[in-house]
Chain A
Amino acid sequence: MEANAPARIPAASRSAARAPLPAPPSADYSSFLHRDDAGRAGMDFAIEGIDCAACIDEIEDTVEALPGVETGRLNYSSHRLHVGWRAGAEVRPEAVVAALARAGYRAHAFELNRAEALEAERARHLLRCLAVAGFAAMNIMLLSVSVWSGNITDITPETRDLFHWVSALIALPACAYAGQPFFNSALRALKSRALNMDVPISLGVLLALGISVFETLNHAEHAYFDSAVMLLFFLLTGRYLDHAMRRRTRVEASNLAALKAEIAYRIEADGEVVAVPASAVHPGEVVLVRAGERVPVDGTVRAGRASVDESLITGETLPRPFAAGDVVHAGSLVHDGALQIVTTAAGTGTFLDEIERLLERASTARSGYVRLADRAARMYAPVVHATALLSLVGWLVAGASLHQAVLIAVAVLIITCPCALALAVPAVQVVASGALMRAGVLINSGDALERLADIDTVVFDKTGTLTLPEPSLANAEAVPPDLLDIAARLAVSSAHPLARAVRAARPEAVPYDEVREFPGQGVEAQLGAMTARLGSPAFCLADDLAQQALTDEAMDEASLVAVRYGSRCALLVVRQRLRPDAVELVTRLRAAGRHIAILSGDRAAAVAPIAVALGIGDWQAGVTPAGKIAALEAYKAEGRRVLMVGDGVNDAPSLAAASVSMSPITAAEVTQAQADAVFLGERLAPVGRALAIAGRARALMHQNLWIAVLYNLIAVPLAIAGYVTPLVAALAMSGSSVIVTLNALRARPAGGGMMPAAPSADADGPLAAEGAPA
């Protein structure tokens, strides 16, 4: 937690290095504003670009300098900013966004969803319970240690009774409060006629308390108040850890949702165009989408013509012409032209019916998986109860008094209570998910770790997964540098997605003052006496060059752009590029004995060269979403456990159908929601690292469970034999819990928190990856 801060750079040099971002378009933020009773307005933002401690001050000072703003408070762990305005002041959220953009941060309006608010409340409740149990455990232990040492020296029975009564005074209310999470869950389980881990826990605690009160009334030597409370303390620790891990990934996930929330340009009844969050568009309303923008909603084209790239939906990389009457899907990218779209579905409901149907079928397939901890618990609870009951009966048969037999049965219940078991899995999950986060992987569910560790087959989607989501310039070396400079400067003025690829080759390019755009053809600027043009080969009079290039080699999956400056001319080849470390990752996975396959929705001509470059023999092209599921089922039928890595909407059902799934951060929203893990950055390395960390985590979970079993093998016979005094119970319980927790810490990768690739994962994290599809 402490080791992941990047190297500290003084504030001054940081802000100098940070380039201001272009001002975002104005938008209607009213749905995100909250007002308190005094009339003060407040609003939350998710912030991108925070990377060091100096950012805290910079952001808060920037915001508080704005007129009307009373407070700006940044939460560094969750990267969220709360802004409060003075009562009666004019509230201008767009000024906050603009000011932060000038300082080099992207701010996104953010609303805490209900599920997350509930989780936060539950976490606080658990922490309160933990505090009460901790307080009670410490104070009772103070009294218990006095009694234990007094019992072998000279404590008077009166003093012992007093100490027991004081212990009872602390333990009874403390357990009533701190035991709530367990009692409630045990009751729920019993009501549905099931057994869970909380049933033996609740029974153990209640019996220990009951028997202790009874013993105290009879002036006995031993009472188990400390055991009951300590039990709760350790179990609550495990519960809290488990909760903290899930909450942390949920925080990241909802930040991502806010970062991805798109702006839609709604056409009002009077013809005016207003920018609104895509979530505020209702079915039936008309939105305008221009060249270079992603379609924010599902709908039907009302007017306009454009070529649209649906690679995020279908995996197909060639743009396709759209005209009035065609159906478009959210996430499609408009290349040129503009479309007016009548919305049929907006917000979360934006995906194809077929995908939805497939998703439903596929996700039921995975629900058969039972988590490791639950499997352990299912075997555990009946065994515990049977053992306690048997020792009760056994001692009665052997001639012990009822009082003695009950005492022993309770000792068995206490000693078998799954302290170590309850910590064994969550402690490893917390440490491993922290390690994953530093490696640039966010996991959605705790059991994903267990499933990742089982993988023997990795299936990749091609478009956007093996290749980068945005096409890039493939022949930069072959183009004369001065022509490339001109091309990049021209490209800055164009919204066309191919122009973005040209621009990326020269990131420092500044636009020319006067650029004319010819829709569907290109852009032109007058440089002194010469004319410079960037656009289609025909527009730049470079058809002969283009013909030549096409006959040259397998160029049909590339797009051609030309640049002309006076009489000179050059051809720019823009194509999907493999992620920089795709070859390395595939080689390494194969070396580790894993089968690799490609399932793509794109044409065979586009998939074949990629498969050859990666040396993958098992590939299929032109696969429909249903076909992908069928292929995965075929693997499953062979007994393989499959990791599916994909990003398109067409991959969503197969992600749900695979035993475990990952998607890059640039993936479509539906797809990300299905993925068990999301990885950041341009590289594929996080996939390999996730597999490695998961493997180690599972090994540690198994070790921990075996430690818990070993502990029981030693402690239970002692308890049955009647040798477990409260002192022995206390030592055994805390000893096993500490060992299991320490063992879990080994899930941290060797060499501390900083992994070699962590800085790069930071650098091209959400901001860089998100910057592109606007």
Chain B
Amino acid sequence: MTVLVYLLPMALLLGLSGLAAFLWSLRSGQYDDMEGAALRVLNDDDMKE
């Protein structure tokens, strides 16, 4: 069962990084306008020629 020694920390780290990513996205306002985000993806203004 020595494999647990690095499997457990890895699982925890992965979980924590997911949590950190969520908290970052929350802080940067990505949940402030859920409907707008769904529609903005369709706009292609950023493809400047």
Interface residues of A (CB under 8 A from B): 1-2, 5, 53, 56-57, 61, 74-78, 124, 127-128, 131-132, 135, 138-139, 142, 156, 159, 162, 166, 170
In the complex, are the beta carbons of B16 and A135 less than 8 A apart? yes
Partner of B15, one of A1, A2, A56, A139: A139
Partner of B23, one of A61, A78, A131, A162: A131
Q: How far apart are B24's CB and chain A's nearest CB, in angstroms?
A: 11
Closest chain A residue, CB of each to CB of B44:
A57
**Residues of chain A lying within 8 A (CB to CB) of residue B22:** 131, 135
In the complex, are the beta carbons of A127 and B31 less than 8 A apart? yes
In the bound complex, CA of A166 to CA of B45 (Å): 49
What are 22 A-B contacts with C-beta separation under 8 Å? A1-B35, A2-B38, A5-B39, A53-B39, A56-B36, A57-B43, A75-B32, A76-B33, A76-B35, A76-B36, A76-B40, A127-B31, A131-B22, A131-B23, A132-B19, A135-B18, A135-B19, A142-B11, A159-B1, A166-B8, A166-B12, A170-B12
**Residues of chain A lying within 8 A (CB to CB) of residue B18:** 135
**Residues of chain B lying within 8 A (CB to CB) of residue A56:** 36, 39-40, 43
**Residues of chain A lying within 8 A (CB to CB) of residue B31:** 127
**Residues of chain A lying within 8 A (CB to CB) of residue B35:** 1, 76-77
In the complex, are the beta carbons of A76 and B39 less than 8 A apart? yes
Identify 6 new A-B residue pairs, CB closer than 8 A, beyond the known A1-B35, A124-B26.
A56-B39, A56-B43, A61-B45, A135-B19, A139-B12, A162-B8
Q: How far apart are A160's CB and chain B's nearest CB, in angstroms?
A: 11
Q: How far apart are A205's CB and chain B's nearest CB, in angstroms?
A: 20
In the bound complex, CA of A179 to CA of B28 (Å): 24
Closest chain A residue, CB of each to CB of B40:
A56
**Residues of chain A lying within 8 A (CB to CB) of residue B11:** 139, 142
Q: Which residues in window 1-49 of B have CB below 8 A to A?
A: 1, 4, 8, 11-12, 15-16, 18-19, 22-23, 26, 31-36, 38-40, 42-43, 45
In the bound complex, CA of A5 to CA of B42 (Å): 14
**Residues of chain B lying within 8 A (CB to CB) of residue A76:** 33, 35-36, 39-40
**Residues of chain B lying within 8 A (CB to CB) of residue A131:** 19, 22-23, 26
**Residues of chain B lying within 8 A (CB to CB) of residue A128:** 23, 26
Q: How far apart are B5's CB and chain A's nearest CB, in angstroms?
A: 10
What DSSP secondary structure best describes chain B's contact surface? helix
**Residues of chain B lying within 8 A (CB to CB) of residue A61:** 45
Closest 4 CB pairs of A and B: A76-B36, A53-B39, A135-B19, A75-B33
In the bound complex, CA of A142 to CA of B12 (Å): 10
**Residues of chain A lying within 8 A (CB to CB) of residue B36:** 56, 74-77
In the complex, are the beta carbons of B15 and A77 less than 8 A apart? no
Most chain B CB within a 10 A radius of its CB, from A135, A156, A170: A135
In the complex, are the beta carbons of A53 and B33 less than 8 A apart? no
What DSSP secondary structure best describes chain A's contact surface? helix
In the complex, are the beta carbons of B26 and A127 less than 8 A apart? yes
Closest chain A residue, CB of each to CB of B5:
A162
Closest chain B residue, CB of each to CB of A142:
B11
**Residues of chain B lying within 8 A (CB to CB) of residue A170:** 12
**Residues of chain B lying within 8 A (CB to CB) of residue A124:** 26
In the bound complex, CA of A53 to CA of B43 (Å): 9
**Residues of chain B lying within 8 A (CB to CB) of residue A77:** 32-36
Q: How far apart are B28's CB and chain A's nearest CB, in angstroms?
A: 12
In the complex, are the beta carbons of B4 and A53 less than 8 A apart? no
Closest chain B residue, CB of each to CB of A158:
B1
In the bound complex, CA of A80 to CA of B33 (Å): 10
Partner of A135, one of B15, B32, B33, B38: B15
In the complex, are the beta carbons of A159 and B4 less than 8 A apart? yes
Q: How far apart are A475's CB and chain B's nearest CB, in angstroms?
A: 45
In the bound complex, CA of A166 to CA of B9 (Å): 10
**Residues of chain A lying within 8 A (CB to CB) of residue B39:** 5, 53, 56, 76
Q: How far apart are B18's CB and chain A's nearest CB, in angstroms?
A: 7
In the bound complex, CA of A18 to CA of B28 (Å): 34
In the bound complex, CA of A311 to CA of B16 (Å): 62
Q: How far apart are A536's CB and chain B's nearest CB, in angstroms?
A: 50
State whether A53 and B32 are in contact (beta carbons under 8 Å apart), knowing that A128-B23, A135-B19, A142-B11 are contacts in the complex: no
In the bound complex, CA of A159 to CA of B1 (Å): 8
In the bound complex, CA of A76 to CA of B40 (Å): 9
In the bound complex, CA of A77 to CA of B26 (Å): 16
Closest chain B residue, CB of each to CB of A75:
B33
Q: How far apart are B23's CB and chain A's nearest CB, in angstroms?
A: 6
**Residues of chain B lying within 8 A (CB to CB) of residue A75:** 32-33, 36
Q: How far apart are B30's CB and chain A's nearest CB, in angstroms?
A: 11
In the bound complex, CA of A138 to CA of B26 (Å): 20
Closest chain B residue, CB of each to CB of A155:
B1
State whether A162 and B4 are in contact (beta carbons under 8 Å apart), knowing that A56-B40, A128-B23 are contacts in the complex: yes
Q: How far apart are A509's CB and chain B's nearest CB, in angstroms?
A: 36
**Residues of chain A lying within 8 A (CB to CB) of residue B26:** 124, 127-128, 131
**Residues of chain B lying within 8 A (CB to CB) of residue A159:** 1, 4
Closest chain B residue, CB of each to CB of A138:
B15
Q: How far apart are B4's CB and chain A's nearest CB, in angstroms?
A: 7
In the complex, are the beta carbons of A1 and B34 less than 8 A apart? yes
In the bound complex, CA of A2 to CA of B38 (Å): 9
In the complex, are the beta carbons of A78 and B43 less than 8 A apart? no
Most chain A CB within a 10 A radius of its CB, from B38, B39, B43, B45: B39
In the bound complex, CA of A139 to CA of B8 (Å): 10
**Residues of chain B lying within 8 A (CB to CB) of residue A138:** 15
Closest chain A residue, CB of each to CB of B12:
A139
